[in-house]
């Protein structure tokens, strides 16, 4: 898989040795960007997606492949910076500490991978607390 400029996306194996032993569902539960309004997310999912933003960037910087996450439409690198920043803003709004800004390099920021709305709505099906926050908004 290549980015908009034809550069190879990641150069490591598609899955780490650990991930290769997991089912597709278990891998999908590990790393994803929910791309839903952060104020609707429970504490666990808000902090979890914040961690995932750092993990996605770290994987890229350590030359690990994002190919599987891109093919499964679980991450959108072109939204990583803005997504991290809006999640950090919500964390601060809730009184959580945030001391880990990120700077997404152009090479990663230029990879667009739109996440379907169906995958975004999946959060509310999986998590009763997120669903309750959505219903009360």
Q: What pLDDT digit, counting tens, does each position of 66-77 carry?
A: 999 999 999 999
Confidence of residue 44 (pLDDT cuts 50, 70, 90): very high
Q: Which residue has the higher pLDDT, 36 or 31?
A: 36
Q: Each residue of 100-114: pLDDT tens digit?
A: 999 999 999 999 999
SS3 content of the chain, % helix, strand, coil (to 5): 55, 0, 45
What is the average per-residue pLDDT within 75-92?
97
Which pLDDT band holds residue 22 (cuts at 50, 70, 90)? very low
Mean pLDDT, rounded, of the chain: 83
28/115 Cα distance (integer angstroms)? 13
For domain 19-135, give the CATH number.
1.10.440
Q: What angle do CA 116, 48, 136 make, to 5 degrees?
A: 70
The pTM for the full model equals 0.78
Indicate the pLDDT class of residue 10, thresholds 50, 70 and 90.
Answer: very low
Q: What confidence tier does 30 reach under pLDDT thresholds 50, 70, 90?
A: low
The per-residue pLDDT for 31 is 84
Place of tokens 């899955």: 15
CA–CA distance, 57 with 122 (Å, rounded to integer): 23
């Amino acid at each position: 898989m290549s980015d908009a400029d034809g550069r190879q996306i990641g150069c490591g194996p598609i899955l780490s040795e650990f991930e290769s032993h997991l089912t597709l569902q278990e891998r999908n539960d590990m790393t994803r960007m929910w791309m839903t309004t952060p104020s609707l997310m429970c504490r666990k999912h808000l902090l979890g997606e914040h961690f995932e933003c750092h993990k996605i960037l770290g994987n890229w910087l350590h030359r690990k492949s994002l190919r599987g996450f891109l093919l499964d439409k679980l991450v959108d690198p072109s939204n990583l910076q803005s997504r991290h920043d809006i999640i950090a803003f919500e964390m601060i709004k809730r009184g959580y500490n945030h001391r880990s800004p990120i700077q997404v390099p152009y090479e990663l920021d230029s990879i667009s991978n739109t996440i379907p709305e169906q995958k975004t709505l999946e959060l509310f099906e999986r998590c009763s607390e997120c669903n309750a926050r959505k219903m009360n908004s």
